[in-house]
Amino acid sequence: PQEQPNMGLSGKLAAETNKVAGGVVLKHVPPAEARKADKRWRLYIFKNDQLQDEPFHIHRSDHYLFGRDVSVADIITAHPSCSKQHAVLQFRLTEKDDEYGLRTTAVRPYLLDLGSVNGTFLNAQSHGWH
């Protein structure tokens, strides 16, 4: 019997459009509601209650990629438990109704695990992200 054509999505187009120099395919694509932060957010890295470095100013882009791959990561996580592309901090424009029923908008940060093996932790707590 002749094989029927498969018209399903292969993911090849998405992979090609999401490549950076060097051929690395990014695991995260910013959503349509991605926005730069409207506040001056900072990220502080602590280890054993000690500040490790200068704070990262994370209001200059709509997202920040965490990982070991220095060619694509915005914030390098040089730890063996971290993936090459581990997680992303994504700022998104959100809408909700206030107590008076009026629609309000705000730019809020979201931490997303990118399918890492060991999960993503926020303030030393796992939130079941994998």
Alpha-carbon distance of 49 to 54, in angstroms, equals 15
Query: Could you give all domains of the chain from N- to C-terminal order, each with its CATH number?
Result: 29-126 (2.60.200.20)
Tell how strand 75-76 and strand 63-67 pair up.
parallel
Query: What's the pLDDT score for residue 5?
Result: 79
pTM of the model: 0.78
Rounded mean pLDDT of 28-34?
93
Q: Is the pLDDT of residue 84 over 60?
A: yes
Q: Could you give the angle at the alpha carbon of 109 between the alpha carbons of 107 and 110, nearest 5°?
A: 130
Q: Average model confidence (pLDDT) for the chain?
A: 87
pLDDT tens for residues 44-67?
988 888 998 899 999 999 999 999
Q: Return the DSSP state at 55.
A: P
Cβ–Cβ under 8 Å, residues 71 and 22? yes
